[in-house]
Amino acid sequence: MKTLAYGDKLSSKERVLRTFRQEKTDRVPVNYHSNTGIDQKLKAYFGLKADDGEGLNQALGVDFRGVGPGYTGPRLHKDIPGRNVLVDDWGIHRTWIGHETGGYWDFCDFPLEHATEEEISAWPMPDPDHFDYSKVKEQCLHHRGLAVYTGGAGTGDIINMNGMLRGVEQTMVDLITDDPAGMLLARRRVDIQFEIIRRSLEAADGGIDFLWLGEDLGSQNSPLISIELFRKQIRPLHQRFVDLAKSFRIPAMIHSCGSSSWAYEDFIDMGISVVDTLQPEAKNMAPAYLKEKFGGRLAFHGCISTAGPVATGTPGEVVEYCRRTLDVMMPGGGYCFAPTHCLQDNSPLENVIAMYETAHRHGKY
């Protein structure tokens, strides 16, 4: 099988954990997230089957793998026939939005937008008892040598995940006014996620290397909320997860889209070790700014824009762009090479290949 990784001296696990601690390593760790269209093109390029995600991770030299329990409970919500609307077990509605290069499932309907406390209290949600934790350790052993995490960008997320059920506008009103219904929804979801993560960490028996959290805190130009509102409504809910990670002696990484560096001092104070996404186009998110202001105190995961040269440039421009980012972020360690979000379907295949080739060729210490 073709692979872009070569000449590695450390295991992925050691490489990532050293990077999180901002210690010397052999190369930058590499991660991958994408939409379906470009994902299928990459698999075809490497001669892989359409469902061979592990093969693609190996081909790209990806250092990270996620684990978690499978849901075994009853179906809690029904899809909506005749409208092409899928509904998951949290009750989130999604509809397919097509475009010239592919498509994606976008959120719609917002079924709890006008719900009362009583309605939210009765809203069916997954029960932590209805997950199979028995296979988590096996998953960790299968990925022995790799950097294994549990959770993800939606773990602990209040604005985005509440917004999927109540709409973003109502979610913002909830946070500002302390709306009992909206805050109950946030607490219910977080309590369930927390218990699933806790049981997963227990079942892993030391096999999970870090916890991944998420909260979208910024637009392209400004914070979505004030630091005071963050500290009042969101930070206490996130702190539970960070403290849980500490109790298992593992670091926590947090995803946040947009202009979010205004919250990084609080992240440091909370005990968060790594920040993810790092959209360089957003205000106060340029690599040089982040490295100068927070380097040595936070590790970084992301910075490779999914809206920049990877999507719109030539392979040569992609190589130059990725090299510049690496030149800024690599000194002193603490940087993981990754797209800012899912690689989009409008990204030319040759650009994505150039992106990962550059990470492996130019990302060596």
Going residue by residue through the chain, which has 365 residues, state the pLDDT in tens, using 9 for 90 and above. Answer: 667 877 788 999 999 999 999 999 999 999 999 999 999 999 999 999 999 999 999 999 999 999 999 999 999 999 998 888 999 999 999 999 998 888 889 999 999 999 999 999 999 999 999 999 999 999 999 999 999 999 999 999 999 999 999 999 999 999 999 999 999 999 999 999 999 999 999 999 999 999 999 999 999 999 999 999 999 999 999 999 999 999 999 999 999 999 999 999 999 999 999 999 999 999 999 999 999 999 999 999 999 999 999 999 999 999 999 999 999 999 999 999 999 999 999 999 999 999 999 999 999 99
SS3 125: coil
Decide yes or no: CATH 3.30.70.3150 for domain 12-73+127-150+190-227+237-362: no
Provide the CB-side half-sphere exposure for 234 (13 A, CA). Answer: 30
10 Å Cβ neighbour count for 316?
Answer: 11
3-state secondary structure 178-223: CCHHHHHHHHHHHHHHHHHHHHHHHHHCCCCCEEEEECCCECCCCE
H/E run at residue 103: strand 102-108
Task: Give Cβ neighbours of residue 278 (< 8 Å, ≥ 6 apart).
Answer: 285, 287, 290, 300, 301, 302, 303, 340
